[in-house]
Amino acid sequence: MTRLEKSAGIAKAHLGRSVVRLNKNYLNEASEKSEDFLTFGIKNTNGLPGEIIDRLRKHPDYLWLTVDKMADIGRSVDVDLINPITYRLMTGSTSGGCVNILKGINSLCIGTDGGGSVLAPALSTNLYSFMGKGCGLAL
Q: Burial code of 46-72, b = ≥16 C-beta within 10 A, e = fewer? A: eeeeeeeeeebbeeeebbbbbbbbbbe
Q: Please give the DSSP secondary-structure letter assigned to residue 69.
A: P
Predicted local distance difference test score (pLDDT) of residue 64: 98
Tell whether 41 is covered by a domain.
Answer: yes
Identify whether 131 is part of a domain. no
Examine residue 34 and state whether it is found in any structural domain, yes or no. Answer: yes
Q: What is the pLDDT of residue 75?
A: 82
The total of structural domains in the chain comes to 1
Q: What is the average per-residue pLDDT within 46-51?
A: 86
Asked, for residue 100, whether it belongs to a domain, the answer is: yes
pLDDT tier at 74 (50, 70, 90 boundaries)?
confident
Residue 137 lies in a domain: no
CB atoms within 10 A of CB 100: 28
Estimate to the nearest angstrom the gap between the alpha carbon of 41 and the chain centroid: 3
30 part of a folded domain: yes
* Confidence at residue 118, expressed as pLDDT on a 0 to 100 scale: 86
Is 133 inside any structural domain?
no
What pTM was estimated for this model as a whole?
0.91
pLDDT, one tens digit per residue, over 78-125 is: 999 999 999 999 999 999 999 999 999 999 999 988 777 888 999 999
Q: Which domain holds residue 38?
A: 3-124
Within a domain: residue 73?
A: yes
For residue 115, give every residue at least 6 positions away whose Cβ sits within 8 Å of its Cβ, in sequence order, or none.
Answer: 76
